[in-house]
Structure 1
C-alpha cells in the first residue's frame, strides 16, 4: 500500500494522533469511517450497474483466461505453428490437355490463378 510497510504505518498513525490531538481524533476517525462506508456503497452500486448494463453474457466469460500475467508469447507462437491446417486435396494432372467446358470447370475448382511475378517491378 503506497510502498509503506507495517512499521512505517504505525509511526505515521502515532504522529497523526499527536498532531491532531486527542480532542479532534474521534471526529476524524468517524469521518474516515463515513468515507469508507460511502466508498464501499459507491463501488457496490457501480458493480450492480455494470452487471445490469452488460447483461448475462458477462457471467459466462472466463476472466482467468484473459489474465495478462498468463500471457506467454512462446506458447502462443508454438500453438499457432502446431495448428493442423485441413489437408489439401491434390488432384493428379491429366495426361492430355483439357479444352472447353472441362478446362473452365477445372479452373473454377482450382480457384483464382496466382498473379504473375515481375522481378523488375519497383
Structure 2
C-alpha cells in the first residue's frame, strides 16, 4: 500500500472549497502536520492501462439518502511518487531528514485519479486515513 500526501496549499484549498465552502477551505491543522491518505497498491497500474470509472455512494442532496452508482466527478492529479528501496525502519522509529535520501530507490510520475463526488460523501465523516 502507499500514502498519498496532501501537500500543495493551492490544491488543498481548492478541494477544501469543494467540500466545505470557501470560508472553511483549509483546515487549521493543514499548516502544521502532513496530511496523508491511505492508498491501495492494487490500484497502481502501468502507463497505457485502461482506467475504470469507480462506483460508490454519493449524496448530492443531504435531505435524501445516499445512492450507489458511477462516479460523475472523476478528477486527475499529476503527482510525484517515490519508491522506498530499503528494508525501511522499525515501527515507531523515525527517519531523520538527513537520512531520508538513503531510503529512496526511485522516482516516477503518477496520475492520481479521484472520484470527487464519492470522496465528498466519504471524506467529510472519515477524513484522512
TM-score over 0.5 (shorter chain): no
More strand by proportion, 1 or 2?
2
More helix by proportion, 1 or 2?
1
Could you say which structure has the greater relative contact order, defined with CA pairs below 8 angstroms and 6 or more residues apart?
2
When normalised by structure 2's length, the TM-score is: 0.14
When normalised by structure 1's length, the TM-score is: 0.14
